[in-house]
Amino acid sequence: MFAQRTVYTNSDPPNVASLIAQIPEEPNEILQYTQQVLPDWILGECPQFSLDLFKFNEQWAYACVQLNIVPQKVLIVTETYLDLQNTSHTLVREVCRKLTLKGFVVVDSINFGVCVRCNHVMVSEKRFIEGGLKYLGLCQKCFPHDPRNSA
């Protein structure tokens, strides 16, 4: 569903220290900066998780209350944060850390996709099909169904 444009490797750009030092503080500025230093890394921006994944909204809201910050957006990216914790790509790691601290949620396009109708985050097409389910591109709110019967 997302076009894969830039392939990110596990290595940092040569000027990584200065790029990290310049990461702004304001949420929208961080987002713009990220799009500039990691072009095509963010594939989708969504207001929240869909009804299918409401637990993720709860956890996100809880984390924001704990940090005393305002929830921003869910960002669907080409790589997972968890995978990158094991790599030497400090720029991606620092950008993820900063985005998360400012109210964004960073998730990967392997596991997550977007409802074509309401633009809320749902399980990816790949994971739907792996689970033996028929993929319609719609969340439960937009197409109420019992997924156990739709295979």
Longest dimension (CA), the chain: 53
Binding mask 13-52 for Zn ion (x = CB under 5 A): ----------------------------------------
Report 84-113 residues binding Zn ion (CB under 5 A): none
- Interactions with Zn ion, residue window 111-140 (CB under 5 A): 115, 117-118, 139
Q: What are phi and psi of 123, to 5 degrees?
A: -70, 145
Q: Based on CB atoms, which residue is closest to Zn ion, 27 or 44? A: 44
Smallest distance from the beta carbon of 119 to Zn ion, in angstroms?
Answer: 7
List the structure tokens of 138. Answer: 């719609």
Q: Dihedral of CA 9/7/43/14: which sign?
A: positive
Q: How far apart are CA 47 and CA 71, in angstroms?
A: 9
Q: How far is the CB of 32 from Zn ion (least distance, A)?
A: 27
Minimum CB–partner distance for residue 103 and Zn ion (Å): 22
Closer of 19 and 46 to Zn ion (Cβ):
46
142 binds Zn ion (CB under 5 A): yes
Q: Taking contact as CB under 5 A, which single stretch among the options 36-44, 60-68, 125-133, 141-149 is the one that binds Zn ion?
A: 141-149
With respect to Zn ion, which residue has the nearer C-beta, 14 or 144? 144
Sites of contact with Zn ion (CB under 5 A): 115, 117-118, 139, 142
